[in-house]
Homo-oligomer: A and B are copies of this chain.
Amino acid sequence: MGVIFQIMNDKPRITLSEVALAADVSPITVSRALRNPDKVSAEARARIDRAIRELGYVPNPAARALASGRTDVIGVVIPSVSNNVFADVMRGIYEGLEGSSLGVQLGTTRYSPMTEEQLIRVFLSQRPAGLIVAGHDQSPAARALLSAAACPVVQIMEVGPPPIDLAVGLSHYHGARAGVEHLLAQGYRAPAFLGAQMDPRSQRRLAGFRDGLAAAGQADDPVVTTPEPSSVSLGCRLFADLLARRPQTDAVLCNNDDLAIGVLFEAQRRNIRVGAELGICGFNDHEMMSAAEPALTSVATDRLSMGRQAVRMVRDRLTGGGAPRGHALDLGFRLMPRASTARGRV
């Protein structure tokens, strides 16, 4: 087997010099034609392009990285790939990458600050074109590394704390606060909060919920959370717990849409009329929310755009311009009131 592989390994590898030979220029000119085409005469470029096409030349990124000390890779550091929110963000990132020669290197911290720090250290040591990290809650050492980084650093997901370099996201605090204020404005008397996977963003949503409630003069603290990862069935269970503990609950602000859908199903099972008897508000506004029956209210966030903008910020910096250090782009949120919080005539 080893032998077979060896043989197959020996398929012709076209190098830049061979292209140069075929195009009758020096290797360095080919290199330039690839990186700064405008620094090479049109004729030379044409010959080089032809040679590249005919020989099927593909550049060797390792050699480029070694020689230039930079890579065309954006490091992305997120807690987990399972989380739906990050899946959307990743999609935005890949969309933002299109048309560039940039690649992505993804690392997951599994919500461990130490893993995150280590990951950042390794990524930075490879001199990436940029770094995209989730959140603002890095360890002090990780923050120090990021501050000293030689590449643009974009913190995604939230805005609020001053960014290390750049940031794009939204205020989860205010999003959740808008949600609970909507519930109260609709006339619900005893809203509760349901949360899973209580990462820093979730904590800030919870804070927004609490402050919104306190501002309305509510005294108790109707909150059910769990560190478990979020899911629809978890929404069912948490809602059941909530009702057992606090039967007077007449509305729930869910930390995300999964949970909200779970609450909807559980309410249906118990013949609770959603909207009239029970207000449900989700977070993120997954496409499914408007399709549900009844349609579910949610705080819409633009995860796709978050990823895209983060990449754009890096790309703008690479092309010389870009936002100055300290710039934070607030993507905002939009409350989408739907039938699930239409209390109607009671």
Would you give the 0/1 interface string for A176-210, flagging 1 where the beta carbon is closer than 8 Å to chain B? 00000000000000000000000000000000000
Is there an interface contact between A58 and B122, defined as CB atoms closer than 8 Å?
yes
Q: List residues of chain B with CB within 8 A of the CB of A258.
A: 288
For A293, list chain B residues within 8 Å (CB): 265-266, 268-269
- A69 and B62 alpha carbons, distance in the complex (Å): 9
1/0 contact trace for A1-39 toward B, CB 8 Å?
A: 000010011010100000000000000000000000000
A57 to chain B, nearest CB (A): 9
Whether a CB of chain B sits under 8 angstroms from the CB of A232 is yes
Q: Is A287 a contact partner of B232 (Cβ separation < 8 A)?
A: yes
In the complex, how many angstroms separate the beta carbon of A156 from the nearest chain B beta carbon? 16
- Asked if A90 is an interface residue, CB under 8 A from chain B, the answer is yes
With A11-B150, A90-B81, A108-B94 known to touch, is A287 a contact of B62 (CB < 8 Å)? Answer: no
> Would you give the shortest CB distance from A258 to chain B, in whole angstroms?
8
Q: Which of B104, B125, B150, B292 is in CB contact (< 8 Å) with A265?
A: B292
| A284 and B325 alpha carbons, distance in the complex (Å) | 45
Residues of B within 8 A of A65 (CB): 62
Name the distance in Å between A229's Cβ and chain B's nearest Cβ: 10
| Chain B residues, CB < 8 A from A266 | 293
Copies of this protein in the complex: 2
A136-167: contact bitstring with B at CB < 8 Å (1 yes, 0 no)? Answer: 00000000000011100000000000000000
A74 to nearest B CB, angstroms? 12
Provide the bound-state CA to CA distance between A8 and B145, in Å: 11
> A126 at the A/B interface (Cβ < 8 Å)?
yes
Cβ of A34 to closest chain B Cβ, rounded Å: 14
A231 to chain B, nearest CB (A): 5
Residues of B contacting A122 in the complex (Cβ-Cβ under 8 angstroms): 58
Residues in B neighbouring A326, C-beta threshold 8 A: none
Residue of A60, A71, A104, A122 most packed against chain B (CB within 10 A)? A60
Neighbour of A232 across the interface among B8, B66, B288, CB < 8 A:
B288
With contact pairs A11-B150, A62-B126, A150-B9 given, residues A288 and B269 touching in the complex (Cβ less than 8 Å)? no
Partner of A71 from the list B62, B150, B261 (CB cut-off 8 Å) is B62
CB <8 Å contact, A94 and B66: no
On whether the beta carbons of A126 and B60 are closer than 8 Å, the reply is: yes
**Is A331 an interface residue when CB atoms closer than 8 A count as contact?**
no
Judge whether A82 is part of the interface by a CB distance below 8 angstroms. Answer: yes
Q: List 23 A-B contacts (CB under 8 A).
A: A8-B149, A9-B69, A11-B148, A11-B150, A13-B125, A56-B121, A60-B66, A60-B125, A60-B126, A62-B65, A62-B126, A63-B66, A81-B91, A82-B91, A106-B106, A231-B287, A231-B288, A233-B288, A233-B290, A258-B288, A261-B288, A262-B291, A265-B293
- Taking Cβ atoms with an 8 Å cutoff, the residues of A that contact B are 5, 8-9, 11, 13, 56, 58, 60-63, 65-66, 69, 71, 81-82, 87, 90-91, 94, 103-106, 108, 121-122, 125-127, 148-150, 231-233, 235-236, 258, 261-262, 265-266, 268-269, 287-288, 290-293
Ranked 10 nearest A-B pairs via Cβ:
A62-B65, A58-B125, A233-B291, A232-B288, A268-B293, A265-B293, A232-B291, A9-B150, A8-B150, A62-B66
Q: Assuming A8-B150, A58-B122, A62-B126, what are 7 further A-B pairs, CB within 8 angstroms? A: A61-B62, A62-B66, A63-B66, A94-B108, A236-B291, A261-B288, A265-B291
